[in-house]
Amino acid sequence: MERVIDCPVCYNTDKCFEDLQKDYNAYLCFNCGYMSDSRYEFNSLKLLDNLKKSPKLVSSLQFIDKKRNIVWFPCVINMGEKGMIYPEGTTDSWVWKYAKVVDIPENQRNEYQGHDKRLDLEGAKSFPAQTGFLEACKEMGITKDLS
pLDDT tens string 49-76: 988 999 999 999 999 999 999 999 999 9
Q: Do 8 and 56 lie in a common domain?
A: yes
Q: Which of 49, 74, 99 is the last residue of a domain?
A: 74
Give the per-residue pLDDT at 130.
Answer: 83
Burial of 16 (0-12, 13-18, 19+ CB in 10 A): buried
Q: Do 70 and 85 lie in a common domain?
A: no
CA 110 from chain centre, in angstroms, equals: 31
Give the per-residue pLDDT at 146.
Answer: 52
Q: Do 9 and 68 lie in a common domain?
A: yes
Q: Do 6 and 32 lie in a common domain?
A: yes
Q: Which of 59, 74, 89 is the last residue of a domain?
A: 74
pLDDT tens string 85-106: 999 999 999 999 999 999 999 9
Beta carbons within 8 Å of 62's beta carbon, 6+ residues apart? 51, 71, 72, 73
Sign of CA dihedral 136, 134, 74, 76: negative
Q: Do 28 and 49 lie in a common domain?
A: yes
Give the per-residue pLDDT at 145.
Answer: 65
pLDDT tens string 118-133: 999 999 999 999 889 9
Give the per-residue pLDDT at 131.
Answer: 86
pLDDT band at residue 20 under the 50/70/90 scheme: very high
Q: CA-CA distance, 76 to 113, in Å (whole number)?
A: 25
Give the per-residue pLDDT at 147.
Answer: 54
Q: Do 68 and 9 lie in a common domain?
A: yes
- Which amino acid, 104? I
Give the per-residue pLDDT at 72.
Answer: 98
pTM, two decimal places: 0.90
Q: Do 6 and 70 lie in a common domain?
A: yes
Q: Which helix (H) or strand (E) holds 58?
A: helix 56-60
Residue 145 inside a domain? The answer is no
CA 29 from chain centre, in angstroms, equals: 10
Rounded average pLDDT over 8-24: 95
Helix (H, G, I), strand (E, B) or coil at 46: helix
- Which amino acid, 119? L
Residue 147 inside a domain? The answer is no
Query: In terms of residue numbers, what domain contains 114?
Result: 77-140
Q: CA-CA distance, 39 to 4, in Å (whole number)?
A: 19
Tally of domains within the chain? 2
